[in-house]
Structure 1
Amino acid sequence: MSLRLWDVYFLVVAAAVTAAIIIVDGFSFELRAGSIAAIATMAALHILVGRPLVRREAVGTAALLVCLTHLLLFGIAIACVPLATWLMFAVLPIFFMMVTLRRAIALVVVANVIPVLLELHADPGGIGIDLVIAAISTASGVCIGVWITRMIEQSNERADLIAELEASRAEQERLSHTAGVAAERNRLAGEIHDTLAQGFTSIITLVQAADPGLKDERLALAVRTARENLAESRALIAALSPAALASASLPEAVRRQAARFSEESSVPSTVRVAGEPRHLPTPVEVVLLRAVQEALTNVRRHAGAGEVAVLLSYAASSVRLVVRDDGCGFDPASSEGFGLAGMRARAAQVGGAVTVHGAEGTTIEVEIPA
């Protein structure tokens, strides 16, 4: 039941009980006025104080004081006109909405004891039937309250799950879009490098071989034009490459990624470079940088690690990147996600391979011939 519908329900019950108190015979004007005033105060208390607390889901001291005040006013209304006991239908749900389940059950018991004590004071001989009614009312009130509480909890859990799934889907779409854009940029950079840049270099080499001194003005112009276009090609390759590689070498870019990871996640990380660093083809450096970014992102989101180690190893005919964490690990065969699949695809484009171990922590190894 939404809060607005509950307000309508509460006010309808209060109005119905008030009308019954006005109509019923056998009570003085003062007693009727006292009971109605107590009911009106309860309604005002709920609208002005209780409702904002329910909206904020506040279950602390303020909410408990509101419930105790409702109990006091409920007792006053019954003491004046016993017919006000029917107000129980509006009072009991308030407790389950405003305080913890244990406190709500205790308040329900007290609310059902109040009419019994007042009846005992007015007519000690008829207490038996009142006790039976109070026991039934207490049991049914507690059962309904517990059921409502469980339903609300399940509804909140479903809402949280739906929100989490929507966020996950949005994140997957973002990653897919980012990976697609990065893959296309890398492909274009590789195409420019392998075709235009190589072609211009070949033209310059062939022309200079034919006329080393470039005495022929037409050949000199051709060389200048080829060099200018080669510079433009290299500028395009640089623009299509990751910004991290535009202003730093691959080892420096990897160290920056690890430092940023530690700053954002508070997980210590170390970076070690083995072998003699050397310039690698742009597509290879892009794949390695993307791999370390994706691996560190997975550690931050899923691993629960206490430490991360990154190794960048240069060998004579290959380069190897290893990212190892001491987190919870996983089974790569059954739970490989989009990130690892994209990492494998990018590595395959440059002739490399990705190996994943998840038994004790997680180890991701990318090896590329270079």
Structure 2
Amino acid sequence: MRFEDVRDVELDWRGSLMPPAASQEGDQPVRWHRWFARVETTLAWVLLVVPTLLSALTDQTNAHRITTVLIAAGAAVWLALTTFVLSPKLRDHPVASAAAFAGVVAFGSVLQSRDAYFIIFMVYGFFAAMRMKPMPVAVLGVGITSLLINTMTLGGPIHALSVSPGIWGTVVVVQTAAIGGGGALFAAVGRQNQERKRMLDQLTAAEAENRGLQRQLLTQAREAGVLDERQRLSQEIHDTLAQGFTGIITQLEAAAQARDDPAEWERHLASATQLARENLTAARRSVAALHPEPLETATLPEALAEVARLWSERTGVPAEFSATGTAVPLHPELEATLLRITQEALSNVARHAQAGRAGITLSYMGDEVTLDARDDGVGFDPAQPPAPPSPEGGHGLPGMRRRAERLAGTLHVESEPGGGTAISVRLPAVPAATLDPTEGAS
């Protein structure tokens, strides 16, 4: 809902919404408002028919009875025009609602002056008054109805006020304040409910838009990640596999030229075999790096705990893992990124930190998830990172930062020579529910 639409919405004194029909074509009225309108319309006819029947059964002259019934019939025609013939849009127009109120109190006053039973019909005047706009006009209508309903059986308002102005003035003021105040309170509650509904609608729309942006962000991150992995694999193939195959070919060619020297032939053949085994190991390592296997059978905290445990066994450096907050399934791209950053951070500790201890903390903080990696090693100057990407395929701090930024996250480094290193990664906690059905099949 736009703010321009909200500005055009008006509230009547019952707190009901009155959307302009011309600008709200096709909109369905609020359910409880439709129900209230039906009850109000039905009540108007009941309040007219009941006193008419009671009046017709009283001991009156035929002429008086027929005249009263004819006036009641005129009131019925007026109700039909204002409740059935007029469209809801026209019925709620300020001029039309004021005219409807004037007709009700005019017929009601005449009928009440003829028979006290019609004080019942005059009650409908309060409902007709509360439909008028703006608020001061509605209050005035309530006051007029109160004055007439209390004085018509006493000779009219002029006579009643001239005889006992204090009594009837107080009655009218109190009654007007009570009915008008109740209507104003009801209207205020209605406005609050509508404002709350508008805000909820805006939040729902913003949430839907946010989910769409998250999906778009993750799609872009996946595409960037694919490009980054291609570049990494291209560099790794060039640096390891291609060079390895070149060495194998060189050794085999040398072995072919050394056929007459068995010892030399065997040496070149053994070198070629060793190079082939090393290339096979490198190829398997590259394939394994394409997908985070620990996440296939475990949650993210379990996978990170296992990564820390295996790293500690391999390096001999104690590594502690802890998780805080309520763990929730995150989008696979997020979990894979956090796993890769953890692996790279621990790899950096093993290569550069000369640390005695390391720690990994995963924190779920509602809309964000953070990963903190720390060690008590030699540290470094953050303005001068310690080493370029390693031959084993690591990307160091720049690679970790790129991974975080692809997912609209940040990476912060704190370190100083001799003071250890702390790396903090902060990412939006996109839930797994934002995964498109088509993504699950990829």
Shorter-chain TM-score: which interval? 0.3 to 0.5
Highest RCO, 1 vs 2 (Cα 8 Å, sep ≥ 6):
2
Larger Rg: 2
Give the structure with the larger helix fraction: 1
- Normalised by the size of structure 1, how large is the TM-score? 0.48
